[in-house]
Amino acid sequence: VCCFTDRKGKTPRRPGQRKQCNIEKDPVGVYCRIRPLGTEDEECCIEMISSSTIQLHAPDGLKANRNGEYKETQYSFKKVFGVNTTQIELFEDVGKLLIEDLIQCKNGLLFTYGVTGSGKTYTMTGSPGEGGLLPRSLDMLFNSIGPFQTKRFVFKPDDKNGMEIQSQVDALLERQKRDSQQSVSKIPSSRQKADPEIADMISSDDACKVENVDEDSCYSVFVSYIEIYNNYIYDLLEDAPFDPIRPKPPQSKILREDQNHNMYVAGCTEIEVKSTEEAFEVFWKGQKKRRIANTQLNRESSRSHSVFTLKLVQAPLDADGDHILQDKNQVNVSQLCLVDLAGSERTNRTRAEGSRLREAGNINQSLMTLRTCMEVLRENQMCGTNKMVPYRDSKVTHLFKNYFDGEGKVRMVVCVNPKADDYEETIQVMRFAEMTQEVEVPRPVDRPICGVAAGRRHRNQAFRDELSRQLEERGGPFNAGNAVRDPAQLNHLIESLPAIPPCELVDPADDQMLPRLIEVLQRRHHTRQMIIEEFNKTVNSMLQQFDSQLSSKGNFLHDQQSKLSEKDKVIVSQKTEIERLEKKSKTLEYKIDILQKTTDMYEQDKRTLQHELETRDHRLHRELSDRRRIEQHMQGMVTDTRLKWEKECERRVNAKQLEMQNKLWVKDEKLKQLKAIVTESSPAQRPERPTRERDGNIGNVFKTRGGGQAVQFTDIETLRQECPTAPSRKRRSGSAERPAQLEETENTVSY
């Protein structure tokens, strides 16, 4: 493992990109595609005005505005695709540029958006014979880089959103290990028979490719497929072992940030693919695990957001054009995310209940978060504000935040259904699309140019072709240093041979022509012998050289075998360690599962207690406010009661004083009369009591605390009445009867 740490490839993020000033920006490319009506008698509410504008008409029966008229609205896009648009025409305008950017080490994000049943999945995936954006993107990519792909396992994911470069020996061991496994592995093998569900997605006439591919680089493609369901991330390509006794639900994945601040799904399966068929087979394998359901609006409604990621790894060749350049700074990783968003829907139309209702709520919440992020981005760019974009409120926006921060181009295909029933939902989709077009994304930076001369692969291939041709012609190995075996030198030697003179032999006893011919043939024979001797010398030297090379190769092979045996021992020990770690990992996963369930229980209890605490706090606050109100009311009542009783006490005290004065006056009168009777003196004149006529004032007037006035009486009137039939009363002492005058005094009434 330690030999891989210094060969880690770069992630799509370029460090320091955000610190640049005056970065050029491009608006988000928004396209619109209109789905054909189901039947001809359905009412249509969308009209295509031009190649970039559509107009919406309010359907019959919809409430009119205040003036009693229906309002027609128009919306403009980068391009509008009508009902007769083919899949290849859509791909030419939307997906082709993204594949070209992918090969040029630039990222891309393409997602479909719209209400349920508007044709998003058909636009992204397509049908047999009418492949969508995803299969056509795969086909164009592999048509472009097919001859320049590396062998399997040369690049390997490091589980940290990066790539490791393996040596040729390690890659060969990985391939041999894969070939030795008879069971189905994570990497699918080539199909002998095409799956009828994915066969003939793209015809040969629609095939296209990128022309300006860098031939001096090696390429490798990795794919991953995830879904975001109820705001949880699940890996659709994960081969989890099925336990029939204790089946486990799929484990959700988490989002993490790598060293270059890029968001990625931790623990996501990345599969290396080498052809369009193999890649689409992987996609279809995950597509069968995706959650769909039957609703009132769509027979196969997507209940989750799916994200299919194409990751292209590029590394330049060395100066000889034979092997990959072992330089981590020259390895580039670019990716294209193809997102099929779930459709927004209204529960009163779908009549969703139970789990379907919860799914619809989570879908609408994530789409609302996406819309909120677009609104904040547009406000920050247009008004110069610096508001925080709520990417973390949803897994969809959190995963793709880097694209809106300048990590690649963003394209959106808005799918609409022109039927009248979807008019209100279509209005909301159009408003979101119109707002998204005003958001600008920083333009990605071009990759650095490799410092090695171009044309290395072509020169290396030409050298190999020439070498193989010469080996086939000469029937043996080729030595560039041997002058005899060089074609130019051979031609020169053949031309230096003495030419045979033209002659006609008429008589076999010709003594003139035959000696000349014999002399020429002898010279040619001598030259041929010299060439044969030189050739034998050269062959012997080459054989000796090959013997020495063979011995050195044997020694090298022996060393390599010893190293291989050592590596086998290391592999055995590592396998043992891996088995131990796998057991430990399973134990930890089981513990994590238990802890996760315990955490969920505690979280549920926490939410319940938090809700109960908030309810009690609200109730306590209400009781405190009621108590303060009652206290204020009671204080007012106490104050009023205190004033009332103070007035009553003062009135009673004054009345009591007046009563006591009257009693005192009566007693004085009685004492005077008793004194007169006892002394038997002449009756004295009773002092006349002042009357009202003489005094003119019978009491004193004073002010009360309440602001009024009260009268205190100071005069007493005495009334006398004789009752002849009334029996005489005895004295309390019981000694003697009172005199008649005293009885009359007692019958006096005072008031």
Q: In this predicted model, what pLDDT tens digit does every residue of 276-329 receive, in sequence order?
A: 999 999 998 888 888 765 454 444 556 789 999 999 999 988 877 777 887 777
pLDDT above 90 for 94: yes
In a domain, 210, yes or no: yes
643 belongs to a structural domain: no
Residue-level pLDDT at 208:
87
Q: How many CA atoms within 13 Å lie on the side-chain side of 178?
A: 15
Hunting for tokens 């099929």 — which residue is that?
340
The span from the CA of 744 to the CA of 723, in Å, is: 9
Q: What pLDDT score was predicted for residue 462?
A: 76
Candidates 407, 403, 370; CA nearest to 389 is 370
Strand partners, 126: 131
- Residue, of 670 and 743, whose pLDDT is higher: 670
The four Cα atoms 580, 583, 585, 591 give a dihedral, to 10 degrees, of -140
**For residue 161, is it within any domain?**
yes
Q: Which residues are annotated as a binding site for ATP?
A: 114-121
Cross-strand partners of 616: none
418, pLDDT greater than 80: yes
Q: How far apart are CA 336 and CA 109, in angstroms?
A: 6
In a 13 Å sphere around the CA of 381, the CA atoms on its Cβ side amount to 20
Got the DSSP string for 669-707?
A: HHHHHHHHHHHT-PPPPPPPPPPHHHHS--EEEEE-TTS
Each residue's pLDDT tens digit, 23-76: 688 889 999 999 998 777 788 889 999 999 999 988 876 655 545 556 788 999
- Say if residue 709's pLDDT is above 70: no
**Residue 732 predicted with pLDDT over 70:** no
Q: Which residues are annotated as a binding site?
A: 114-121
> Could you give the angle at the alpha carbon of 31 between the alpha carbons of 28 and 33, nearest 5°?
160
Residue of 106, 98, 124, 99 whose CA lies nearest to 33? 124
Q: pLDDT, tens digit, for every residue of 628-685?
A: 999 999 999 999 999 999 999 999 999 999 999 999 999 999 999 898 888 865 544 5
| Segments forming the whole domain that contains residue 139 | 34-169+196-450
Answer whether residue 257 is part of any domain: yes
CATH classification at residue 310: 3.40.850.10
What is the distance between the alpha carbons of residues 399 and 335, in angstroms, rounded to a whole number?
Answer: 13
Q: What's the domain count of the chain?
A: 1
Residue 216 lies in a domain: yes
In 3D space, the residue among 426, 374, 448 whose CA is nearest the CA of residue 15 turns out to be 448
Is 12 domain-assigned? no
Of the candidates 203, 217, 148, 155, the residue with the CA atom closest to the CA atom of residue 10: 155
DSSP string, 21-80: SS--EEE-EEEEEEPPPSSTTS-B-EEE-SSSEEEE-PPTTSPP-TTS-PPPEEEE-SEE
Taking the CA atoms of residue 352, residue 357, residue 360 and residue 362 in that order, the dihedral angle to the nearest 10 degrees is 180
> In angstroms, rounded to a whole number, what is the distance separating the alpha carbons of residues 666 and 92?
128
Cα–Cα distance between 707 and 643 in angstroms, integer?
A: 12
CB distance 662 to 689 below 8 Å? no
User: Within a domain: residue 586?
Assistant: no
**What integer best gives the mean pLDDT of the chain?**
78
Report residue 81: phi and psi, to 5°.
-105, 120
Domain assignment of residue 741, yes or no: no
